[in-house]
Structure 1
Amino acid sequence: MNIDNLPTPYFMIDEGKLINNLEKAKKLKDISGAKLVLALKCFSTFGTFDTIKPYLDGTTSSGPFEVQLGYEEFGGETHAYSVGYSKADIEAVKGMSDKIIFNSLSQLEAHYETCKTNASLGLRINPERSMAGQDLANPTRPYSRLGVKQELLSTAVLDKVEGFMFHMNCENKDADAFIAILDHISTTFGEYLDQLKWLSLGGGIFFTYPEYPIEKLALALKAFSEKHDIQLYLEPGEAIITRTADLVVSVIDIVENEKKTAIVDSATEAHRLDTLIYDEPASVKEASDNGEFPYVIGSCSCLAGDQFCETQFDTPLEIGQKLHLMDSAGYTMVKLNWFNGLKMPSIYYQRVDGTVELLNSFGYQDFKATLGK
């Protein structure tokens, strides 16, 4: 397959880069004794799971369909969490889940009898401390609906649950800051931890970031686990797939209104939603820090503010030129939508031997099927 001739837009996932992240995950596991489960809310492209499965212990989910996908396509341990389970949700997931984690005491009470014999049950706790740069993604923000605060807990809950889950990080690159929160959890919730079998510390720990002190993190986790005699879990998503995929687009027009805008055959609103939601500009592989030719990289959607970034190039852009929007794996393919009826990107997987596999492509019938029969 000639990559140069692939029609845009498309995602290209690089297996070699994925394995590089997974080797760091293996090092963290080996030193710490923690288990790692892939957060499907971040990345669910199951055509890559054969590469990931040897390194991780299973999957964790935020909704019933993710539970089923992890159970069917990944195997290992299947963790089910939801902010709110309906009765139908519980019936759907209880036979597939090794662990079911409830968001509230009322949810635990409502579903305990239904699933107590099917899985090890857990409860999400709000530690009231976090490392999340964006308030939108901060699980301990004021009035948060996510997890149970300490003041509402009593040791009676230990009659019904075997584990707790804390999730309080978002792309946290600071090992010392995480360890400080870990110490807070140990001190504040020690009477519970000493009686639990397992503890999930959630995701958002960016241990594959360049120069991250993996060994320091691992030893802290190991000491915590030994102190409380508890099995630790981490739920990495972005850490596993960061810098592994590009969204490849083509320039289809160049317009000028004081600034030059290169319009590409993609849209943040439809294909890279977090760029828009969190105001985090994309990085373009072909751009140059000292380039003399500045452009807005604009989408082809009708949303006026829909643009990928502003950047500059060493030479003027041309219509038909391909651009690579880097680091486009996390929270992209799981959030694809059909806004404006735009063509959805195909998904390719470049293996370490150089071969390229088509994992999925989408057409009009896929668009139409989301709207009716």
Structure 2
Amino acid sequence: MTDHNATAFQSDIPTPYYQIDLVALKQNLMTVQRLCELSGAKALLALKCFATWGVFDFMRPYLHGTTSSSLNEVRLGKETFGKETHAYSVAYSADEIDAVLSYADKIIFNSFNQLSAFKDKAYQANIPVGLRLNPQTSNSSFLIADPARPFSRLGEHDVAKVQAVLGDISGVMIHNNCENDSFEAFSASLDDIEAKFGEVFHQLSWVSLGGGIHFIAPDYPLEKLAHRLKQFSDTYGVQVYLEPGEACIHGAARLVTTVLDTLHNGKPLAVVDASIEAHMLDLLIYRETAPVVSINHQSCQLSQKQTSDSTIIYGKSCLAGDIFGEYELPAPLQIGDTVAFGNAAGYTMVKKNWFNGVAMPAIVICDEAGKQHLQKSFSYEDFKASLS
């Protein structure tokens, strides 16, 4: 994310806090909107990635609705975003399906069993029904996030069995990309999907191709992607849906922290008042490094070389591996310095937790004029209420 106004990030709001930058968010959303205009596809925000509804009014004009992974998410999408609301879950329980259907505009079942169990309720509610398909191929660099991993439970793959239930469904969802920034890889994968399920697509009215397509990259051939999607739509006579999560919010937020302590144990060490375990959990899950986007409110381009003088920035939890990353800094960090970590929107606020009782970051919105607004803060009472 580029600082459109360095002074905008100076604040009297106590750290830690997540800061959403509406200027950067708008840049992503305009790219999503352009892709939809060129291709005829519809874009649904994936709430599993980003569900900070305080900016939904800002996002709504650029998107067609939301897609969910649970009863809570589909309800949140209906109540706070509106427009189209797609409901999906790996497995619905019998005691929640009625509530799900009350909020959904479409419902997508993960398996033949789920379809058989709940399709009649969906018909009675006049809700279009879909089924998740698994092409058994994917574009994912991480096994943990690979929908086509061995023995995957995510969707059905038997074409003959899918054809047998075509009378029960009007569409399908296929999600087999994860941070895929290659148009060629996406197009080749779609070729494989068409070869396997093409006859199925001809008998449907809509197809969701899921998310995980990193088409907001500066050098991504957006027009080629749009042409490929339109070609797919025209070939089968279907409405194409996309489910962007990261593509909507990439680079549009940061986690702002303060250095609480500095140490030296073979290398310079610094401890900030946040935690990857509690506040940027995907760094721990995927063993990634958080980008530092500013120090003391000044933008910086940092090398991530690991040298004898490079600084390891730790979180404040008791987890030994609570590490934001190792950085070659322009100057040693001092107690009281402000350090802001980038890419703090996707899979961060939706996964934040109260591990160690570490203070929960507030949520702050920086508007297009560079003014900050405190959207939500958290207290001891919130911590206490999360337990029993």
How high is the TM-score relative to the length of structure 2? 0.93
Match of 1:24 among 18, 31, 40: 31
Q: Cα deviation per residue 1:92-114 (whole Å; 9 max; x = unaligned)?
A: 11011011000000000011111
Question: Given that residues 290 and 314 in structure 1 are in contact (C-alpha distance below 8 angstroms), is that contact kept between their aligned partners in structure 2?
Answer: no
**CA apart distance, 1:354:** 2.0
Residue type of the alignment partner of 1:269: E
Written as runs of structure 1 = structure 2, the 5 A alignment for 1:1-373 is 3-118=10-125, 119-151=127-159, 153-285=161-293, 286=295, 288-289=302-303, 293-372=309-388
Indicate the SS of the match to 1:54: helix
Residue type of the alignment partner of 1:31: L
Structure 2 CA distance for aligned equivalents of residues 308 and 59 of structure 1: 31
**CA apart distance, 1:151:** 4.7
Residue type of the alignment partner of 2:130: G
Give the length in aligned residue pairs.
372
Indicate the SS of the match to 1:73: helix
Structure 2 residues without counterparts, runs of 5 or longer: 1-7
Which deviates more, 287-296 or 95-104? 287-296
Q: Cα deviation per residue 1:316-367 (whole Å; 9 max; x = unaligned)?
A: 1100000010111000000010000000000001110222111110000000
Indicate the SS of the match to 2:324: strand
Indicate the SS of the match to 1:365: helix
**CA apart distance, 1:152:** 5.8
Structure 2 CA distance for aligned equivalents of residues 92 and 336 of structure 1: 26
Question: Given that residues 60 and 67 in structure 1 are in contact (C-alpha distance below 8 angstroms), is that contact kept between their aligned partners in structure 2?
Answer: yes
Question: Given that residues 270 and 336 in structure 1 are in contact (C-alpha distance below 8 angstroms), is that contact kept between their aligned partners in structure 2?
Answer: yes
**CA apart distance, 1:264:** 0.5
Structure 2 CA distance for aligned equivalents of residues 223 and 151 of structure 1: 22
Indicate the SS of the match to 1:221: helix
2:4 match: none
Indicate the SS of the match to 2:102: coil
Question: Given that residues 364 and 376 in structure 2 are in contact (C-alpha distance below 8 angstroms), is that contact kept between their aligned partners in structure 1?
Answer: yes
Structure 2 CA distance for aligned equivalents of residues 318 and 335 of structure 1: 29
Indicate the SS of the match to 2:207: strand
2:5 match: none
Indicate the SS of the match to 1:215: helix
Question: Given that residues 304 and 326 in structure 2 are in contact (C-alpha distance below 8 angstroms), is that contact kept between their aligned partners in structure 1?
Answer: no
Question: Given that residues 147 and 175 in structure 2 are in contact (C-alpha distance below 8 angstroms), is that contact kept between their aligned partners in structure 1?
Answer: yes
Indicate the SS of the match to 1:51: helix
**CA apart distance, 1:3:** 3.1
Structure 2 CA distance for aligned equivalents of residues 154 and 353 of structure 1: 52
Question: Given that residues 276 and 324 in structure 2 are in contact (C-alpha distance below 8 angstroms), is that contact kept between their aligned partners in structure 1?
Answer: yes
**CA apart distance, 1:309:** 0.3
Indicate the SS of the match to 1:49: helix
Percent identity over paired residues: 49
How high is the TM-score relative to the length of structure 1? 0.97
Structure 1 residues without counterparts, runs of 5 or longer: none
Question: Given that residues 159 and 197 in structure 2 are in contact (C-alpha distance below 8 angstroms), is that contact kept between their aligned partners in structure 1?
Answer: no
**CA apart distance, 1:260:** 1.6
**CA apart distance, 1:2:** 8.0
User: Residues 14 and 154 from structure 1, CA distance in 2 versus in 1: closer, same or farther, beyond 3 angstroms?
Assistant: closer
Which deviates more, 40-49 or 282-291? 282-291
Question: Given that residues 250 and 345 in structure 2 are in contact (C-alpha distance below 8 angstroms), is that contact kept between their aligned partners in structure 1?
Answer: yes
**CA apart distance, 1:210:** 2.0
Structure 2 CA distance for aligned equivalents of residues 143 and 209 of structure 1: 32
Q: CA RMSD in A?
A: 1.4
